[in-house]
Amino acid sequence: MSASRGRVCVVGSFMMDLVVSAPRRPRPGETLVGTSFAQYVGGKGFNQAVAASRAGAATSFVGRLGDDLFGAEFRAALRTDGIDDGGVLDDAEGGTGVGLPVVEPGGQNSIIIVPRANLRLTPADVERSRERIEAADVLLLQLEVPVEASLAAARIARGAGTAVVLNPAPYAPLPPELVAACDLLVPNEHELAGLAGAPVPADGPEAVEVLARDVLGRHGVSLVVTMGATGVLVLAADGASSLVPGRTVEAVDTVGAGDTFCGNLGARLAVGDALTDAVAYANAAASIAVTRHGGAPSAPEADEVEAVRRHLEIAG
């Protein structure tokens, strides 16, 4: 692992996750008895920032929190993980965002989010943190804040030579100018289908690559497509592709696993790793995260990921 410390800036969301475990999702009109409840700090932006920081990156955050108890809990969590929160604004009118995941046996989840203050992040808020974005090696973006704010951040980063990595989740149609400002898109199979305007591929990595090449042809941007246990498809802007294999583990909770992947990917790209190497590292980190509960809490420390990487090298 590189001795240098890359710099990552995250412009994104906070969601207090109120997590219910249940034998299945309830049917319309049905009251279902769950098996457990837990509360975790989360949100795609926050989870990615925590993951990047634990991977060793000097990490800063730009976003909005409610001026409430959840907001105070997030402030404490940011500082605990050594994340610069100078770009995080307190919003007296919009409360802190909340997420309501339902986790089924085997770790699969469905989530309802109520973004609240996250939707009040503006391009002007982003502009106030211009120096943080310009100083970063990698900017991480998602779609739980207004697209106008993400576009403002991407334009600042593009002008400064900061690499822009967009995780298009939860999926929404993207303005062409935002895609044009990105260096890398990191969708899962469902989000890739949205980008391609096609059904979700059901025939394995080959079908996924067909869709990924369609998106590449339209936008000319590199893609990293996460496919769970199947692995990760890497498709570079020059058309070269590779498959990073998945790691078989006993998953207990997939909430935040994609965010752990993105945060670790950003941290490794920030220290200059080649894309495929950064993907392999991030994939190992995500395989650890799914064996734990919670979004941000499940993100591993760098030494844990290194231990898994050594084991995989020995096994290989």
**117: DSSP letter:** G
Residue 273 assigned to a binding site: no
Chain Cα centroid distance, residue 185 = 11
Residue 229 in this model has a pLDDT that exceeds 60: yes
One DSSP character per residue, 229-292 reads GGEEEEE-TTS-EEEEEP-----S--TTHHHHHHHHHHHHHHTT--HHHHHHHHHHHHHHHTTS
259 catalytic per annotation: yes
CATH T-level fold of 7-23+35-315: UDP-N-acetylmuramoyl-L-alanine:D-glutamate ligase (3.40.1190)
Average pLDDT over residues 103-112: 85
Residue 262 in this model has a pLDDT that exceeds 50: yes
> Omega of the bond prior to 170 within 30 degrees of 0, cis?
yes
Direct distance between the N- and C-terminal alpha carbons of the chain, in angstroms, rounded to an integer: 19
What is the pTM assigned to this prediction?
0.92
Residue 254 buriedness (CB in 10 A; 0-12 / 13-18 / 19+): buried
Residue 88 assigned to a binding site: no
Q: Which of 81, 259, 277, 303 is catalytic?
A: 259
With H, G, I as helix, E, B as strand and everything else as coil, classify residue 224.
Answer: strand
Residue 144 assigned to a binding site: yes
Domain ranges of the chain: 7-23+35-315
Residue 313 in this model has a pLDDT that exceeds 90: no
Q: What is the pLDDT, as a whole number, of residue 212?
A: 97
Q: What is the pLDDT, as a whole number, of residue 315?
A: 61
Average pLDDT over residues 252-278: 93
Residue 87 in this model has a pLDDT that exceeds 50: yes
Q: How confident is the model at residue 146 (pLDDT cuts 50, 70, 90)?
A: very high
Residue 56 assigned to a binding site: no
Average pLDDT over residues 103-128: 92
Q: What is the pLDDT, as a whole number, of residue 295?
A: 78
Chain Cα centroid distance, residue 48 = 5
52-73 per-position pLDDT tens digit: 999 999 999 999 999 999 999 9
Residue 35 in this model has a pLDDT that exceeds 90: yes
